[in-house]
Amino acid sequence: MKPLLNQLLAQLGRRYYRHRHFREWGDTPLLTVAVSNLCIDVDRVPIQLRMYHGTPERPLVVFYHGGGWVLGDLDTHDRFCRGISNESGCSVISVNYRLAPEFTFPAAHDDCLGATKWIARNIDNLAPNNGNYVVSGDSAGGNIAIATAINCQTDPRLAGCLAVYPATQHYISDLPSYTEHAKTGHLRARTMRWFCDTYLGGLMPADPKLERMFPGRRTSLSGFPRAMIITAERDPLRDDGARFAVRLHRAGVTVAYKHLEKAAHGLVCSEGDSRDFNLAVMHASQWLRAIPIQK
């Protein structure tokens, strides 16, 4: 696809993504959570962060928004971050990373990894926490969370990884849900293919650099932190998340898996105050509250 057309589609997609979020949430009152904003410098790239203040007894949750590495921002996932902070008691820091096609792989991954390392170094001076942190995200953000967990897995302060309907493999992988749910939910299979191609910026699927982008290809997941994977039924990525959860279990990782049988991809940001949104917040918060304090 021509670069100018790709940029136009991305701009239109971002507007619609935000419009849908605010339309679905409508006049639903915001949960009362203390919020502050800050900007940090990561390798000369300004990264916007939004902090939701919780309690000192819980780990700090670092959150990366979804949107196919092309869409999304701090506002489109504000409600989910508020819900997690309110129900789990955890402070949450949401990371606003660079998007494709303006910035292709590995820009989003680099931004989030750099921001996470900065947060880990400064964890005692941020929103209340117990000295540990959890990386988290939905969809493309779930992909980034898993990649970040792999890069940080030797950090003793990393207490877990929470991924909601994550992408871990290239769409050419043998995933039946790409066919079964190509058009049944908010995310179409062809849209997911466009997201992936747009972020890869011409890199071929077999390129060895993409092991970071597609952690489902890794031969070993030993050393991965405790994890929770949440999947949705009406989602091309359904089988991707489920298979990754199985691989974590086989690698000896302590993993919790929840499948929302009636849910569609996008429940975190595009459905408003729905039953599935609240189920995802509940499952994630219960898991976060149960994480033991790292020594």
CA separation for the pair 153, 136 (Å, rounded):
14
Instruction: Assess whether 235 carries a catalytic annotation.
Output: yes
Confidence band for 293, pLDDT divided at 50, 70 and 90:
confident
Q: b vs e for 205-233, b when ≥16 Cβ sit within 10 Å of the residue's Cβ?
A: beeeebebbbbbebeebeebbbbbbbbbb
* Residue 201 confidence (pLDDT) above 80: yes
108-114 average pLDDT score = 98
19-31 average pLDDT score = 95
Averaged pLDDT score across all residues of the chain: 96
- Give φ, ψ of 137 to 5 degrees: 175, 170
Which residue among the candidates 88, 94, 139, 177 is catalytic per the annotation? Answer: 139
Predicted local distance difference test score (pLDDT) of residue 206: 87
Predicted local distance difference test score (pLDDT) of residue 1: 60
200-226 average pLDDT score = 92
Which residue among the candidates 78, 138, 235, 276 is catalytic per the annotation? Answer: 235
The 10s digit of each residue's pLDDT in 43-67 is 999 999 999 999 999 999 999 999 9
The 10s digit of each residue's pLDDT in 143-177 is 999 999 999 999 999 999 999 999 999 998 889 99
Confidence band for 283, pLDDT divided at 50, 70 and 90:
very high
Helices and strands (H, E) in the chain, number of each type: 8, 8
21-26 average pLDDT score = 96
CA separation for the pair 148, 33 (Å, rounded):
26
What does the block give as tokens for 168?
Answer: 């871990």
Pick the closest to residue 93 from 53, 46, 56 (CA basis).
53
Over its C-alpha atoms, the chain yields an Rg (Å, rounded) of: 17
Domains contained in the chain, CATH given: 3-289 (3.40.50.1820)
Which residue among the candidates 77, 109, 181, 265 is catalytic per the annotation? Answer: 265
115-137 average pLDDT score = 98
Predicted local distance difference test score (pLDDT) of residue 295: 59
